[in-house]
Homo-oligomer: A and B are copies of this chain.
Amino acid sequence: MREAFHEQLDSVFGDLADVCRLVEIAVRDATAALLQGDAEIAERVISSDATIDSAREKIEDKCFSLLSLQQPVAGDLRVVVSALRMISELERMGDLSVHVAKIARLRVPEVAVPEQIRPTMTRMAEVAEDMVARVSRIITDKDVEAAIELGRDDEIMDQLRRRSFTELLSDDWAHGVEAAVDVALLGRYYERIADHAVSVANRIVFVVTGQIPVDA
């Protein structure tokens, strides 16, 4: 019974890592669509989101059958519920990538991000993508140290977001209201992707150690 439980649980975490890799592709493609003003890539991100949504449903069903058939208690129970929460967060990260792709698509053949703020936005996108990539590995390897490190790096995203506001609101800003609103919302989406990445990583710390990291 215990062995069956842990085998099925391993399979759930394998599925979670697979979905995280789909999210990683979504974030990367959304950024490419955004920075290149490429409608085709944007469409791909938007239509691929259905794959993440259906993967979510399958993982949820697996978790429910695990809970019903194996009746885990205490720590084991909390691990399965953590998996359910992780899949919700991964799905949400996919949705946020779709939001980025939709802003990209709206501005084609223009590019939503003006040259002036491109370095900061590019950096935000890179940080978000890197965090998601690291989460895939953290899930696969159940790597607590890497998970705790990820939480610390979230500060970088906060700094970038503040920098983007400074740039938007400076007297040098020459791109008007529309571009400023786009950049503010894009910054919010990347920040939320990073927040969810930290949250998923923290759940891995909990799954392995039974403790939620401080400041989580």
- Measured CB to CB, the residues of A under 8 A from B are 64, 67-68, 71, 73-74, 77-78, 81, 84-85, 88, 165, 168-169, 173, 176-178, 180-181, 184-185, 188
Given A64-B81, A81-B84, A177 contacting B173 (CB threshold 8 A): yes
The residues of B that contact A84 with a CB separation of less than 8 Å are 81, 84
Complex alpha-carbon distance, A64 and B67, angstroms: 12
Complex alpha-carbon distance, A77 and B68, angstroms: 7
Q: Shortest CB–CB separation between residue A18 and chain B, in angstroms?
A: 22
Q: Shortest CB–CB separation between residue A43 and chain B, in angstroms?
A: 21
Complex alpha-carbon distance, A211 and B178, angstroms: 41
The residues of B that contact A181 with a CB separation of less than 8 Å are 165, 168-169, 180-181, 184
